[in-house]
Amino acid sequence: MPADGRDGVASVSKRELLELVERVERIRERKTELNDDEKVVMAEARASGFEPKFIKAVVKLRTLDPAEREKSEAMLDMYKAAVGLDTDAPLFRSVGGMGVDITARGQVIEALKLLAPETGEIILKFGGTPVRIWRDAEGEAQSEDWVEPEPEPAAAPKKPAKKKPAKKADPEPVLPNVDEDGAAKLGRQAFRDGEAIITNPFPHDDRRRPLWDSGWRAESGSDGMGDDDGDD
Which residues in this chain contact another protein in the complex, by CB under 8 A? 196-200, 202-206, 209-210, 213, 223-227, 229-232
Rounded CA-CA distance 184/110 in Å is 49
Nearer of residues 136 and 227 to another protein, judged by Cβ: 227
Nearer of residues 118 and 232 to another protein, judged by Cβ: 232
Cβ(27)–Cβ(35) under 8 Å? no
State the nearest-atom distance from the C-beta of 215 to another protein, in Å. Answer: 13
Nearer of residues 138 and 229 to another protein, judged by Cβ: 229
State the nearest-atom distance from the C-beta of 185 to another protein, in Å. Answer: 18
Nearer of residues 96 and 210 to another protein, judged by Cβ: 210
Residue 231: CB atoms within 10 A of its CB come to: 7
Partners of 133 in beta bridges: 122, 143
Reduced to 3 states, what is the DSSP secondary structure of residue 185? helix
Reduced to 3 states, what is the DSSP secondary structure of residue 127? coil
Question: Nearest CA to 75 among 102, 64, 143?
Answer: 64
Reduced to 3 states, what is the DSSP secondary structure of residue 135? strand
State the nearest-atom distance from the C-beta of 50 to another protein, in Å. Answer: 16
Nearer of residues 153 and 230 to another protein, judged by Cβ: 230
Phi, psi of 21 (to 5 degrees): -60, -45
State the nearest-atom distance from the C-beta of 192 to another protein, in Å. Answer: 18
State the nearest-atom distance from the C-beta of 174 to another protein, in Å. Answer: 13
User: How do 131-135 and 121-124 pair as beta strands?
Assistant: antiparallel
Partners of 135 in beta bridges: 141
